[in-house]
A and B are shown apart, each in its own frame.
Chain A
């Protein structure tokens, strides 16, 4: 198995793929997320978005003062459809 260095393990985004994406001119956090899928897996960026920004800053593609994560949307935790469905009921636990 070839060795790979992962930036985002959820979506299998490697450091080489990040550099490939930057070389294509996609350099913002939102563009990189959309192109590679980085941050869209089960952890929703908890493990990778900070690392991505660090790598972009190291590569001169991002100023620290401008660093922002991609938009945070629910859910931040895995949740089942069954749990969400309870929001529309009045079914309180006895």
Chain B
């Protein structure tokens, strides 16, 4: 019953590598992700949605969207698009009921959509039962098969500069810092194969790939990241938590691909054009069945050309047709049969970590970007500036932590004079840790880092690699280091 797969890898010999998906053996290549192997095999559906039980599959293919979550070797909620295949890997769809499709029943009962705020509110006892049912329906799989063999490892880092994101801008910034001998760390959630497919230049020495930064704690001077995959490195198959306390942070996180509001925009087989092109570059696969690109973003024409696809403007589309996966795009001028639909809207800068770190954000027309000064320095929201607002409990511990920084004791911070903030290093008073009297004046807080942005997150009027270099050079100036000429410009 399986239809012809939407992707081909005819140019490459079969390797004999297989993965198990819901009991079926699927061929894979060593450079596949779980998502690319599934899509290539025509397995587009990986779960059902929480409320309407709609079939869902991978969309963005870049780690952002959260609908390619699958169970991998007993571990729930693993992003298929970021997970490289391993021989014999056991992959299972989540929340999918096998072949049972309850969506027709749900649609028959809830013709106007489910308004859960007014559904079974009275009587109370029924409401309580309903809440329990609802919790079971939310669909995040089931608990892992077993508790981990050991807790996660912890790694602490105190680099001068933390670069988050190893796309073209992040790598360009890291190259400038490496050439100047500045201590830096480059974190990227994608794996090395994805990065190599993106940009053929050698990967930076200070790169930690497969590590996703998940939080910024500005009052504690801390960034937290977790290794996504759990390869057995001889120390037990356990994840690693990275705690980073940098003096400067370059956000080079790129952008997300929003969805486009069209009927049927959630069908398995609706992918982001950007993610699909990354997938093809990584795996060497090519598209084997007709594709339609829907989009009005600046790259829509180039995406359609690169995919050999028909380009349709969103305003022309009446609906994306299909039941369990895409079958056609219905436009005002007719029906275009296809196996995959690739969306190419204007991108939304990945501003979430900047926002957590206190950045002032501006509307770009498709999403939000941090407000920067001319050099790429992120401007903080007035109310969230670490110098404003009431003290946090955790801030007292921060002072003790900050004192352990190698450079904190000497108080040498060449850029302190230019940013007019109290010097973080000289104010790590040992007594701050003990002064917990409720009526004690709040300890003076300080910005523990300077935040910068580059690439698609920045509005420096520069293409991604050049903006990474420009920001790294601005940091060299702030550090009082000699700034080399930019040989690329």
Contacts and interface: CB of A to CB of B under 8 A. Distances in A.
Interface of A: 1-7, 9-12, 14-17, 20, 35, 37, 41-51, 53-55, 64-65, 67-69, 71-80, 82-87, 89-94
A82 B51 CA distance: 28
Given A3-B319, A75-B215, A47 B258 contact: yes
B18 to A, nearest CB: 27
Q: How large is the interface on B (under 10, 10 to 19, 20 to 34, 35 or more residues)?
A: 35 or more
B154 A77 contact: no
A67 B50 contact: no
B261 A51 contact: yes
Contacts of B155: 92-93
Contact of B148 (A73, A78, A82): A82
- Among A42, A47, A83, A91, chain B packs the most CB atoms within 10 A around the CB of A83
Interface of B: 49-52, 54, 56, 59-60, 63-67, 69, 77, 79, 103-104, 107, 111-117, 140, 148, 151-156, 189, 212-217, 224, 226-227, 235, 238-241, 243, 256-259, 261-266, 319, 323, 348, 350-353, 355-356, 361, 363, 365-368
Contacts of A11: 50-51
B363 A64 contact: yes
A29 to B, nearest CB: 11
Contact of B79 (A17, A53, A78, A92): A78
A80 B31 CA distance: 25
A16 B113 contact: yes
A91 B151 contact: yes
Nearest to A55: B261
Contacts of A53: 363
A50 B348 contact: yes
Interface of A is mostly: loop
A83 B59 CA distance: 26
A47 B259 contact: yes
Contacts of A73: 356
A72 B354 CA distance: 9
A89 B152 CA distance: 9
Given A7-B261, A83-B239, A93-B235, 9 more contacts: A3-B264, A5-B263, A9-B265, A43-B66, A46-B256, A49-B348, A50-B256, A75-B215, A86-B151
A71 B381 CA distance: 12
A12 B66 contact: no
Contact of B323 (A1, A50, A55): A1
A35 to B, nearest CB: 6
24 contacts: A3-B319, A4-B263, A6-B265, A7-B261, A9-B59, A9-B266, A11-B51, A17-B115, A37-B116, A41-B50, A47-B64, A47-B66, A47-B257, A50-B256, A69-B355, A76-B215, A77-B63, A77-B189, A78-B66, A78-B79, A80-B152, A92-B154, A93-B154, A93-B240
Nearest to B53: A12
B235 A94 contact: yes
B213 A77 contact: yes
Contact of B152 (A5, A43, A86): A86
A44 B69 CA distance: 14
A12 B54 contact: yes
B240 A4 contact: no
A4 B323 CA distance: 12
A86 B153 contact: yes
A46 B113 contact: no
Contacts of B351: 69, 72
Nearest to B67: A9
Contact of A86 (B67, B240, B259, B353): B240
Contacts of A46: 64-66, 256, 348, 350, 352
B258 A48 contact: yes
Contacts of A55: 261
Contact of A79 (B103, B226, B323): B226
Contacts of A79: 212, 214, 226
Contact of B356 (A12, A17, A74): A74
A79 to B, nearest CB: 5
Given A82-B152, A83-B152, A90-B154, A77 B52 contact: no
B238 A82 contact: yes
Contacts of A83: 152, 226-227, 239-241
Contact of A72 (B50, B60, B348, B356): B356
Nearest to A70: B355
